Structure 1
């Protein structure tokens, strides 16, 4: 069975202030959350892999049931790259997120491959990353489009125009980044 890998960051479920902070075009946080679930499930199949590059939700303790409900509705085998809003006050993965059915243990960064390309995944942008001098790509979140990529790196946050609140494939996210590369 063919499996597709997808990437996304900064869903910020249950975070009403994100609507104005990042100019997200939704009338309410409920509309925002439902739009992300709908767009996610319109492209991701149950067997696909989705790397979420952090900041899944906000007010985790206050919204634990809703977060669990939203998470369970999202298709795919989900991997978490831990973001700043995903941890408790001591820097540990928040228990609400730790209790979710992730496909693998959540990590602060992951090195993987997609279509034969080396890829470094982290919540925060790096200026150098493993393999950056040898054609490795880097996907990150956190900056909500305010920090341009450098070289073969880019923000994959939901609020970027070409991401449009939908998990995207490596091919979709690297259009323009691969021009002139030796393959």
Structure 2
């Protein structure tokens, strides 16, 4: 197998017209079809067939049109794993059959732990104030907030609506390159006190 790169994204909401509304996310597209095509094109511009994409929830909306959802999924490059979001369920605690029937690389889960760049990652659709390994340097990536909730320490929103994601999946290095960690803040504060 070729070298595999891991990518992270969330909240594509394929087919969800509300994402274009000023009262929701105000995505800059004429309609949901243009949004879908742009998201697919952006995804495929960075992800190669052997790469792995963790999608942190809310893959699609309007799951009554299963053929459309399956068609979009098939057009997206890479192996795909889903961390379940609120729009991925059909009924309480039951994954929507269309979402469950897609060819995910592993069965969808509510929370996933993995490693990337030698770092421990905790992946969830929802932002958590604390997460497994938080005091041991683990990172937490989440969605759901559509770029509206700043990260805390080693956590951040990875959704397509974030200003630095460009409506595209991003690598761990790209997502964390400008992240200020709690340790860095403590180090900066200590340096400031020593210079007084």
| TM-score interval (norm. to shorter) | over 0.9
1:14 has 2:19 as partner? no
Spell out the pairing of 1:84-123 with structure 2 (5 A cutoff).
84-123=86-125
Gaps in structure 1 of 5+ consecutive residues:
none
Instruction: Return the offset for 1:81.
Output: 0.1
Instruction: Return the offset for 1:90.
Output: 2.4
- Secondary structure of the residue that 1:82 maps to in structure 2? coil
d(CA) in 1 for partners of 2:119, 2:149 = 23
Instruction: Return the offset for 1:91.
Output: 2.2
Residue 63 of structure 2 is matched in structure 1 by: 60
Residue 132 of structure 2 is matched in structure 1 by: 130
What CA deviation, in whole Å up to 9, does each residue of 1:66-112 have, x standing for no partner?
A: 11000000000000000000001222110001110000010001010
> Which structure has more RCO (C-alpha within 8 Å, separation ≥ 6)?
1
Asked if 1 retains the 8 angstrom alpha-carbon contact of 2:160 and 2:166, the reply is yes
Whichever structure has more helix as a proportion of its residues is: 2
Instruction: Return the offset for 1:164.
Output: 1.2
Gaps in structure 2 of 5+ consecutive residues:
188-196
1:45 to 43, 48, 51: 48
2:172 to 167, 170, 183: 170
- TM-score (normalizing by structure 2): 0.89
Residue 142 of structure 2 is matched in structure 1 by: 140
Moved over 3 A (4+): 178-182
What value does the CA root-mean-square deviation take over the aligned residues? 1.4
Asked if 1 retains the 8 angstrom alpha-carbon contact of 2:147 and 2:163, the reply is no
d(CA) in 1 for partners of 2:62, 2:33 = 14
- TM-score (normalizing by structure 1): 0.96
- Secondary structure of the residue that 2:95 maps to in structure 1? coil
- Secondary structure of the residue that 2:121 maps to in structure 1? strand
